[in-house]
């Protein structure tokens, strides 16, 4: 890469080629390093979740099946979507051809929608577990959870196929030169997507988590009253439990809002959502970062994940009968 900066053609053999803006090496190298680090971190964290849940029999539960599905979608985001989007924005050219121009946005949208759907299913699972614990084992079975996961992915594929139908049929219809891949979602489609992919799921999660929070606090207060009546000293523990519940629920909701709110700014502003927008790269990467944060807020809060990670990193999972190890 020319260290002096400047511009050249994306495809010199084509008269209709787009122009490539060359970045100085001193600027490009740190950005490529950061891109590689974020992608690698996303893949590594989600891969640890996948190996942990898949390997240890004790973790084969409905809740962990949802975490596994979430980790799979986030893993592919880190493995494929992040590098491709990074290459697009760094090179300022689309170098992967017409077919990839059609498929890449579709795959990216499907993965992100599936990730959101999995988070909604997790919130439903936790709601039933906390608010209706006696019927949890009969309502939330492993087979029902697997069916729900399959439906989540199927709906994501179908929904995004409808949203991107025009782009899939004619991926170059909004391109002005050779070496450009422009995806445009009309204001009407963007508004519908805003409600179906953000407002709806966010409302469900907030309502369910707030209900879980209220029930959890009431349970803690009952325990405090019982221990106080028995002249035991547990108020400090109860207060810590309240703060921990509030903090965890706050992180779950706040991270989701922070990562997805910016992406829907064009729809809220009444504009089309287009990859040609000057600020689209920022909106896109903020949303993609949710795939890196997900394993932290959905797995690292669990003690079993730390135990399983230790067994994986020390290669103890290759020992005979390691699938039966106790990690809970």
pLDDT for 236 equals 47
Whether the pLDDT of residue 42 is over 50: the answer is yes
Which of 213, 237, 214 is closest to 224 using CA atoms? 237
The domains of the chain are located at: 6-324
Domain at 6-324, CATH class: mainly alpha
Residue 172 Cα distances to 109, 167, 257, angstroms: 18, 8, 32
Q: For the chain, what percent of residues have pLDDT higher than 90?
A: 23
Which of 116, 32, 35, 122 is closest to 74 using CA atoms? 116
With tokens 């949710």, the residue in question is: 290
Whether the pLDDT of residue 88 is over 70: the answer is yes
* CB burial readout 200-229, b (16+ within 10 A) else e: ebbebbbebbeebbebbeeebeeebeeeee
Ranked by mean pLDDT, the top range of 70-79, 164-173, 205-214, 283-292 is 70-79
Top pLDDT among 180 and 46 is at: 46
44 band by pLDDT with thresholds 50, 70 and 90:
very high
pLDDT for 148 equals 96
């Amino acid at each position: 890469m020319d260290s002096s900066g400047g511009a050249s053609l994306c495809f010199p053999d084509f008269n209709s080629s787009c122009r490539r803006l060359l970045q100085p090496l001193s600027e490009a190298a740190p950005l490529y390093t950061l891109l590689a680090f974020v992608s690698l971190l996303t893949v590594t964290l989600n891969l640890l979740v996948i190996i942990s849940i898949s390997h240890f029999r004790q973790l084969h539960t409905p809740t962990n099946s949802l975490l596994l599905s979430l980790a799979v979608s986030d893993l592919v985001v880190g493995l494929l979507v992040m590098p491709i989007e990074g290459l697009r924005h760094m090179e300022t050219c689309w170098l992967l051809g017409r077919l990839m121009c059609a498929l890449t946005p579709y795959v990216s949208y499907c993965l992100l929608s599936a990730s959101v759907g999995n988070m909604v299913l997790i919130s439903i699972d936790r709601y039933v577990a906390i608010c209706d614990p006696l019927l949890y084992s009969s309502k939330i079975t492993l087979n029902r959870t697997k069916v729900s996961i399959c439906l989540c992915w199927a709906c994501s594929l179908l929904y995004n196929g409808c949203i991107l139908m025009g782009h899939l049929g004619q991926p170059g219809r909004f391109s002005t030169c050779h070496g450009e891949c422009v995806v445009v979602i009309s204001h009407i489609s963007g508004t519908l997507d805003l409600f179906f992919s953000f407002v709806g799921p966010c409302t469900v999660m907030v309502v369910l988590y707030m209900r879980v929070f209220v029930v959890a606090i009431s349970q803690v207060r009952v325990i405090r009253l019982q221990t106080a009546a028995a002249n035991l000293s547990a108020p400090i523990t109860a207060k810590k439990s309240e703060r921990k519940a509030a903090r965890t629920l706050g992180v779950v909701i706040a991270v989701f809002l922070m990562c997805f709110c910016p992406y829907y700014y064009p729809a809220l502003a009444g504009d089309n959502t287009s990859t040609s927008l000057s600020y689209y790269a920022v909106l896109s990467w903020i949303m993609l970062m949710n795939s890196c944060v997900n394993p932290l807020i959905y797995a690292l809060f669990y003690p079993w994940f730390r135990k399983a990670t230790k067994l994986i990193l020390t290669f103890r999972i290759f020992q005979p009968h390691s699938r039966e190890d106790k990690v809970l």
